[in-house]
């Protein structure tokens, strides 16, 4: 995975957009929120391992791995919720 923090944040932002736009991934991601921290980490680690064994994109796998950190997961969940809720833009 890219060592640059900006690249890591960009990868996380793209991942959230992908999750938001894919109904299957969105369902899986939302279900993770209802699991215990241990269950969530185990499921994320398993998904990352499957991605790597299938020859998936290493940056994407590493980015998904970051979701195992509860703080990152909570931030990603909040970002996904904000993407799902259309922002109303008003003129001041």
Mean pLDDT, consecutive 10-residue stretches, the chain (92 aa), reads: 63 84 88 94 93 86 89 88 61 43
Burial class for 15, CB neighbours closer than 10 Å (0-12, 13-18, 19+) = buried
Yes or no: say if 64 and 48 are a contact pair by the CB < 8 Å rule: yes
Domain boundaries, the chain: 5-83
Yes or no: say if 1 and 8 are a contact pair by the CB < 8 Å rule: yes
- The predicted pLDDT at position 31 comes to 92
Beta-carbon contacts of residue 7 (< 8 Å; ≥ 6 apart): none
Q: Is 55 left (phi over 0), alpha (psi -120 to 50) or beta?
A: left
């Amino acid at each position: 995975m890219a060592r640059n923090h900006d690249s890591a944040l960009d990868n996380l932002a793209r991942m959230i957009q992908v999750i938001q736009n894919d109904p299957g991934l969105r369902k899986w991601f939302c279900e993770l929120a209802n699991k215990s921290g241990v269950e969530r980490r185990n499921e994320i680690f398993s998904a990352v391992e499957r991605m790597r064994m299938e020859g998936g994109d290493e940056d994407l796998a590493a980015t998904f791995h970051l979701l195992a950190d509860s703080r990152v997961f909570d931030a990603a969940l909040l970002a996904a919720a904000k993407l799902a809720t259309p922002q109303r833009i008003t003129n001041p």
